[in-house]
Chain A
């Protein structure tokens, strides 16, 4: 399975702190994506990183990809209470259909 596994499963921080989530996967991929899901809602695409890329930025988000270690990290800087959500990594192989990991639940306390 190409399913990613996020770590930690839950993360609780104070507003203003940085939040780092990690994703590990088992087989080769074409790309890896991060999605956010607010409680009981649909998923919002955050960022996509391709297998030949090592780092991408989008606003307060920074994603890294290490294909040799089959792992990725999502860093949210200067977190806000509104960042409270579940974050999923999704890996895609030849079909380009993402397979989602189990997610990290982030709580940012105001």
Chain B
């Protein structure tokens, strides 16, 4: 299984809502990543988890809260988002943080109203 799955595929939320994005991989990878991608822009790294511990936070606002419950699962909790947070949120995994190739999920397209 070389797939990274993400749910939901689409999400519409208001600025007062709380929602969560979910990412799962069963490749035994020990590093997982969250990226944010705006239209016609490259992916921007948000968070990196290595062996279930947060190793990199790219100065992301606290309204985004990552969680890694186990080595296969990565969540991104969303609270009090702004319309400018609307984007495609991509999850990726790699064998380890020092391993080069990342495998990406299909993304969650988020719209904040």
Question: Which of A's residues lie within 8 Å of B, judged by CB?
Answer: 3, 30-31, 33, 35, 40-45, 48, 88, 92, 95-103, 105
Contact = CB atoms under 8 A, between A and B. Distances in A.
Contacts of A41: 106-107
A24 B43 CA distance: 17
A42 B107 contact: yes
Interface stretch (B11-19, B61-69, B96-104): B96-104
A33 B100 contact: yes
B101 A33 contact: yes
20 contacts: A3-B42, A30-B100, A31-B100, A42-B4, A42-B6, A42-B106, A43-B43, A43-B102, A45-B101, A45-B103, A45-B104, A48-B101, A95-B98, A96-B98, A98-B100, A100-B42, A100-B43, A101-B42, A102-B41, A102-B42
Contacts, number: 56
Contacts of B88: 40
Given A3-B42, A97-B48, 14 more contacts: A35-B104, A41-B107, A42-B104, A42-B106, A43-B43, A43-B102, A45-B101, A45-B102, A45-B103, A48-B100, A88-B43, A95-B97, A96-B97, A105-B40
B97 A97 contact: yes
Interface in B27-53: 33, 40-45, 48
B74 to A, nearest CB: 14
B29 to A, nearest CB: 13
B81 interface: no
Contacts of A35: 104
Nearest to B96: A96
